[in-house]
């Protein structure tokens, strides 16, 4: 199941950003352009992403592309798996901290956090081992599958 290149977008999450350059149509945003806009905000001490869901939805699933559904396992509803929520939260928080290191921060993040936790999450014996169905598969090069969590499950911590 292939994900569209552009998806509906709730601009309330980035109300402090100028989205004119990334908006393709009413409510539809080019995610690669959005990541570029967010990179400008990365110099700030404020978190780039306000929740683990936003981190997974807007960044991780687009940059950590793996074909899932056969050998590798993933669940579009990752938020239904406690271990996955914990591991992805650790990845998000460590990304927010290490992105501020202009030297080797992101290299350390990939080596010590992303590659370590994603290997466990994507493992055939990992938390998603039992996830089956087209909603949990993708094609090579596509973003990881995603299903939105229930409203309010992951509040934006920048607003707390």
Per-position DSSP letters for 80-147, written without gaps between them: G-HHHHHHHHHHHHHHHHHTT-TTTHHHHHIIIIIHHHHHHHHSTTSTTTT--SGGG---TTSPPP--
Total residues belonging to the chain:
160
List, in order, residues 6 or more apart from 33 with CB less than 8 Å away.
21, 22
Reference 143, options 49, 32, 26, 34; nearest CA is 32
Q: Give the pLDDT of residue 64.
A: 86
The average confidence (pLDDT) of the chain is 82
Q: What is the pLDDT of residues 32-76, one digit of tens each?
A: 666 655 665 555 678 999 999 999 999 999 998 888 888 889 999
Residue 4 has pLDDT above 50, yes or no: no
Whole-structure pTM value: 0.73
Q: What is the pLDDT of residues 76-110, one digit of tens each?
A: 999 999 999 999 999 999 999 999 998 999 999 99
Q: Give the pLDDT of residue 35.
A: 65
Contact, 23 vs 38, CB < 8 A? no
Contact, 147 vs 57, CB < 8 A? no
Q: What are phi and psi for residue 110, nearest 5 degrees?
A: -60, -50
Contact, 73 vs 129, CB < 8 A? yes
Q: Give the pLDDT of residue 155.
A: 97
Q: Give the pLDDT of residue 26.
A: 56
Residue 31 has pLDDT above 60, yes or no: yes
Q: Give the pLDDT of residue 1.
A: 41
């Amino acid at each position: 199941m292939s994900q569209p290149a552009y998806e509906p977008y709730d601009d309330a999450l980035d109300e402090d950003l100028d989205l004119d350059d990334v908006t393709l149509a009413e409510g539809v945003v080019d995610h690669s352009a959005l990541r570029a806009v967010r990179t400008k905000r990365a110099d700030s001490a404020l978190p780039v992403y306000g929740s683990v869901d936003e981190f997974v939805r807007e960044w991780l699933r687009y940059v950590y592309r793996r074909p899932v559904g056969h050998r590798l396992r993933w669940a579009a509803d990752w938020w239904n798996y406690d271990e996955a929520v914990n591991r992805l939260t650790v990845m998000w928080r460590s990304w927010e901290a290490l992105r501020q290191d202009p030297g080797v921060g992101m290299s350390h993040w990939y080596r010590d956090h992303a590659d370590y936790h994603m290997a466990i999450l994507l493992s055939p014996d990992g938390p998603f081992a039992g996830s089956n169905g087209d909603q949990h598969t993708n094609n090579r090069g596509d973003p990881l599958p995603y299903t939105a969590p229930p409203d309010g499950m992951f509040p934006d911590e920048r607003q707390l």
